[in-house]
Structure 1
Amino acid sequence: MTGWNFKHGYFVLNMRKSLSLLIIIVALASGAAIAEPQQRTKVPRIGYLASASGLGPLEEAFRQGLRELGYVEGKNIAIEYRLAQGKLDRLFDLAAELVRLKVDIIVTPSTLDAFAARRATTTIPIVMAASGDAVGTGLVASLARPGRNVTGLTVLARELSGKRLELLKEAVPRLSRVAVLWNAANPDKARDLEETELQARALRLRLQSLEVRAPNDFESAFRVATSKGAGALFTLTDALIIAHQSRIVDLAAKGRLPAIFSEREFTEIGGLMSYGPNDADLYRRAATYVDKILKGAKPSELPVEQPTRFELVINLKTAKKIGLTIPPELLVRADKVIK
């Protein structure tokens, strides 16, 4: 009887050990099964840092690019928008705020925005949607190998200055003096002005610099342009210029100044002409950088890409309003004519 009790107790003990071991295995497996979906459902956060006052069609183009790659805002990706309302000091504060939020990537619309983000972090990847001179400003070491935490797309601002001046001279054959409106508070634009001056000399055009630093500078700048006999207007676009595009277009029309811009949005609201990259295409392509970085690519090894699509837009209604006849040979080359 005693032998039977010993064997029975031994059997029960083994059963208890086996049951305990089984419970532990099941618990570990369940925990792993729970943890795995939690890891898979981690939603990446993108910081969007801009000098602008609000969001518009270009930001929608960026979101469209994300959707085409399978990212839907509010579902499997989050975007933290930070807009500086045209205030430079606020821009740097917002860049630091995004760094404190530990966003996965910062997307910037312009060189100045990228510069603010780069000053705030050397580790969080930064994607430029439409930079100016990223090499000259030190944002990247080269277009082929950026070498740092910044990459993205360039708009070839300086390279296209000569082409815009050519188009302006073709539209106004007797043109000799061009007023150049630019934001002197933006360090990137001083280099743009130098390049534009070189191109102007080759075309036998004289430039008149119209420096602005704040919104209340525009009226006085246009008064100087008309008083000194400027025959046309050329803009070096940045966030300040874009934020006040309606005002600039109205002032150009009031002064009967034929104007050329780099963004088609200016022409669509009443500017005379625009020539430049298709910005919506650039913003959509910026989404591919976000996708690659989220999948493990290093920004230092992703080459900075250049525009592939350019467009000339002419507003005939504006031409008529300011008493200008656009040559037919120029009209036929336009990608879009607003009538």
Structure 2
Amino acid sequence: MLQGEKKKYIYIIMAILGLVFLACFALTALFSDRTEEKPRRVAVLMSGESRRGKLLGLQQGLAELGFMEGNHIVYQIVSAGENRLRLAELAWDLVRAEPDVVVALGGLEVDAAQQAVERRYKETGRTVGVVFAGVASATSRGLYQNPQQPRYITGVENLDAELSGKRLEYFKHLVPSLKKVGVVYEPGIVPSEQGVKFAQEAAQLLGVEVVKYPVRSPYDLLALETTLLPDACDGLLLMPSFMIESGGEVLYRLSLVKKIPVFGLRVKDASTYYFASFGPHVYHQGRQAARLVAKMLKQSSAEDIPVETPDRVELVINVDIARRIGVKLTPAQLHYADQLVGKDCQ
């Protein structure tokens, strides 16, 4: 009897040891497979340091979604050093290397990436998925025809052109004396020209006259200091344009010298250079794009990932600049702002 009980316990112990062995084997195989899995390659195309905020948002967003650099993904980040003429060559080099996804951090970048992917498709019959982070007038650029079916490209549309009318509306609320607004735009740039149309439509409803100031080069921006005559307009409204957005220091100086308010597109614009701005934060655009990149890395096709609009847009007022150019703001006007910046608001 005792002998039988002893054998029974031996069998139980052997069974337990067998289960432990199988569990250890399964775990070893699982972690071995994960170890051998190669990190996914994420290529990032940026025009220059002006896109750094989007890049930081992208990287942090992917990390929070479980895609850690070095373990799960490897970045290949190339910058054109603010020289837009280099973007086509850089985009082609990235696409030719066939990464898992290409992230374009702006309109100039996605235009170059699209051309590179289409060239690659003609040569090899293969495409590379592209995610854009904050692009204006994506439909007019030919990135997609139907927002629900964006081919091999998807991303975050920033609505820069469409928001031009709302910017003018806020401008009028903050500066009620605004009768003539100078619209600064870059001819030949689709979002810039579309923004003018939206601003003109809003101006008719607001009873504001639009004075157009086309700028075709950084020299034209500099020339505004001399060509902008006194009483020519009561404020400047900026349209989407990489060149105009890169001219913050020039327009900041113009604003102070002429005592004229300038209304920009980005949160950082008002934080640094302008009287006010309304639009998405570049960092948040990068974080939002990270969600789409994560979906693509999980084997989703770009055609299955709809283009998104900004999660949030903000009105920012720089109270220091308002004081320096002589714009007096009431508490009710300041209440419009999502964010107030400057020493005077502390």
Same fold (TM > 0.5): yes
Alignment: residue pair count:
305
- 1:234 is paired with a residue whose SS is strand
Residues 1:262 and 2:265 are matched in the alignment? yes
- Unaligned 5+ runs, structure 2: 1-28, 119-126
Alpha-carbon spacing, 1:213–1:39, altered in 2? closer, same or farther (3 Å)? farther
Of 66, 70, 78, 2:66 maps to 70
Deviation at 1:183, TM superposition (A): 2.8
2:16 match: none
- Bigger shift: residues 311-320 or 232-241: 232-241
Deviation at 1:134, TM superposition (A): 0.9
Deviation at 1:139, TM superposition (A): 0.6
Deviation at 1:38, TM superposition (A): 8.4
Q: d(CA) in 1 for partners of 2:102 and 2:213?
A: 32
Residues 1:98 and 2:94 are matched in the alignment? yes
Alpha-carbon spacing, 1:101–1:214, altered in 2? closer, same or farther (3 Å)? farther
On the 8 A contact 1:112/1:186 being kept in 2, the answer is: no
Q: d(CA) in 2 for partners of 1:247 and 1:78?
A: 38
- Unaligned 5+ runs, structure 1: 1-32
Of 210, 219, 229, 2:213 maps to 210
Residues 1:303 and 2:332 are matched in the alignment? no
- 1:121 is paired with a residue whose SS is helix
Q: d(CA) in 1 for partners of 2:135 and 2:201?
A: 21
On the 8 A contact 2:51/2:105 being kept in 1, the answer is: no
Of 129, 134, 152, 1:125 maps to 129
Q: Deviations over 1:163-218 (max 9, x none)?
A: 11011111221212111222335333222222222222222222222222333331
Superposition RMSD in Å: 2.2
1:114 match: 110
On the 8 A contact 1:53/1:243 being kept in 2, the answer is: no
Residues 1:224 and 2:254 are matched in the alignment? no
Give the residue type in structure 1 aligned to 2:193. Answer: A
Q: Deviations over 1:62-82 (max 9, x none)?
A: 111011011223443222222
Q: Deviations over 1:258-288 (max 9, x none)?
A: 1111101011113111111233222101111
Alpha-carbon spacing, 1:52–1:203, altered in 2? closer, same or farther (3 Å)? farther
1:242 match: 245
Q: Deviations over 1:28-84 (max 9, x none)?
A: xxxxx8xx7488431222221222345533321111101101122344322222222
Give the residue type in structure 1 aligned to 2:175. Answer: V
Q: d(CA) in 1 for partners of 2:41 and 2:241?
A: 26
Of 120, 140, 146, 1:136 maps to 140
On the 8 A contact 2:48/2:82 being kept in 1, the answer is: yes
Q: d(CA) in 1 for partners of 2:187 and 2:78?
A: 23
On the 8 A contact 1:235/1:261 being kept in 2, the answer is: yes
On the 8 A contact 2:161/2:195 being kept in 1, the answer is: yes
Give the residue type in structure 2 aligned to 1:324. Answer: V
- Bigger shift: residues 152-161 or 290-299: 152-161
Alpha-carbon spacing, 1:168–1:292, altered in 2? closer, same or farther (3 Å)? same
Q: Deviations over 1:203-253 (max 9, x none)?
A: 222222222233333111343233571210111133323333233222222
Residues 1:42 and 2:38 are matched in the alignment? yes
Following TM superposition, where does structure 1 have runs of at least 4 consecutive aligned residues deviating by more than 6 angstroms?
none
Normalised by the length of structure 1, the TM-score is: 0.83
Percent identity, please: 30
Q: d(CA) in 2 for partners of 1:244 and 1:103?
A: 33
On the 8 A contact 1:52/1:240 being kept in 2, the answer is: no
Summarize the alignment of residues 48-87 of structure 1 with structure 2, pairs less than 5 Å apart. Answer: 48-53=44-49, 55-87=51-83
